[in-house]
Amino acid sequence: MFPIPGTPPVIAVTRSDDTPLTLRLNQRLTAEVLQIATDHVVLGVDGVPVVARLTASDQARALADRRTAQFIVRGFADQTPVLQLVDHAATGPPPSPTSQPDLLPGLLKQAGLPGDTATLNLARALLDHGLPVTPALIAELGEALGQLSAWTATDAQRAAGLKAAGLPVTPGALSLLASAPSELGEPLARLQTRLQSLPTDTLPKDLAGLVRDGLAVLTKLRLNWSAGPDQITEQLRALVEILGQPIERQLAQAAPPPSSDNLLTLARLRAELAQISAGQPQLEAVVKDLDQFLDAARLAQFRNVAPNPTPGEGHWFRLDVPVGLPNDPTAHLRVAYRPGQEGDVLDAAHTRLVLQLDLDDDHALEIDLSVADRQIGAWITATDETLRAGAEAELPHLEAGLEQLGYHLKSASCRVGQPAPPTPGSASAGSPRASPHHVNLEA
């Protein structure tokens, strides 16, 4: 067993780098499921193995097919944390939708709230996202939604999703979620094709130069996988620099950006084309595609606003990467931070990398790598036996490749199942749909 020193209601576990991991009563945490026994489980919390007891034995069975789960610290027994699986916070199976009475009108009446359709939609949205139904939250969401020309139950869900994610609930954010594409790859490819087809020799000289600058920016946003590792590294660095700088921030700076390799170049191109596009279908189409791409980039940047408060699963940084493959997929790079005394930090000694790919509509593969002090555990999930067998046959090549990078594959398993949805909460930020290509990096 892993020793856990300290006294309730706070205990601390020492990491390999001697920094403490503290568990507090009623703390909500996300942990990796390492081992399951009858009376205890071994979890990975921020890369630290922790032995814990569960509040009920049936929770162990519920963890059998899960690699990660959320828990609440309910107490401590003999210096061992006692955890409750979040999914089992309420005892007994939930009633079926057909038999479950609608309790919302009564709840609203008890809270002193009206039972009109708008309030019911807001209350349902709050409950769907695990938020309490209070007059203050109903008023906050209703105020933001009321500034839209008209809003629906879907808009209420988006507003509640923003609140649950700790993001600002504003009319602008709601409009962006409703209109912006959820992926960067497709609008980027469409815009690049459209700009390449423009007859620049018929445009004013300055505008033609701006078109070329815009194409240069778009080229740097699509990875060339035929290049070598060093070149791909440089491409990723340039991509992060471009997508990581919001247009609003660049406009707020006193001095103009030293380079034209930024989203501000595309915004300027859009403004120039809009002035001369009236009555010219080709230019109007370019302006529309520029709007679509810039909105998709703004949505990706908006999701990275520091949450307040930080959700139970922690603070994540997300970067959408158009990978430059057929069908223009977008990979999602997600980095989890843990709070520290000097702000959010990354613990590079304990890292988790999840790569999820939809091969087609019916077949998917997920590779989940957990890294601790250059030792790696691999969990591979395939949607059918053929994929599972193929993945298992590739394990020796994976092990050899990791050894070349200085890592040791300590354990590996392949199973048939459904890949877990990306975590945490792309839907909680109002994403219209999940991407078929996900790369989650948790540190």
* C-alpha to C-alpha distance for 425 and 313, rounded to whole angstroms: 9
* C-alpha to C-alpha distance for 19 and 440, rounded to whole angstroms: 25
Share of the chain above pLDDT 70, in %: 73
pLDDT at position 399 over 80: yes
Structure tokens at 197: 């087809």
> Which range among 52-56, 150-154, 244-248 has the greatest average pLDDT?
150-154
User: Is pTM, for the whole model, over 0.75?
Assistant: no
pLDDT at 205: 92
Residue with tokens 């007059």: 135
pLDDT at 16: 45
* Domain map (residue ranges) of the chain: 6-88, 122-179, 185-302, 316-442
User: Which superfamily does CATH assign the domain made up of 6-88 to?
Assistant: Nucleic acid-binding proteins (2.40.50.140)
Give the model's confidence band at 181: pLDDT under 50 very low, under 70 low, under 90 confident, else very high: confident
Report phi then psi at 343, rounded to 5: 105, 180
* C-alpha to C-alpha distance for 373 and 83, rounded to whole angstroms: 26
pLDDT at position 142 over 80: yes
- Say which range, 52-66, 195-209, 238-252, has the weakest mean pLDDT: 52-66
pLDDT digits (tens, 9 = 90+) for 323-358: 766 666 667 666 666 555 555 555 555 566 667 776
* C-alpha to C-alpha distance for 263 and 266, rounded to whole angstroms: 5
DSSP state of 422: P
Give the model's confidence band at 432: pLDDT under 50 very low, under 70 low, under 90 confident, else very high: very low
Give the model's confidence band at 40: pLDDT under 50 very low, under 70 low, under 90 confident, else very high: confident
Q: Is the dihedral of CA 201, 205, 211, 215 positive or negative?
A: positive
Look at residues 286, 308, 40 and name the one whose alpha carbon lies nearest to residue 187: 286
Look at residues 438, 307, 374 and name the one whose alpha carbon lies nearest to residue 47: 374
pLDDT at 91: 38
Give the model's confidence band at 174: pLDDT under 50 very low, under 70 low, under 90 confident, else very high: very high
DSSP states of 115-135 as a string? -SHHHHHHHHHHHHTT----H
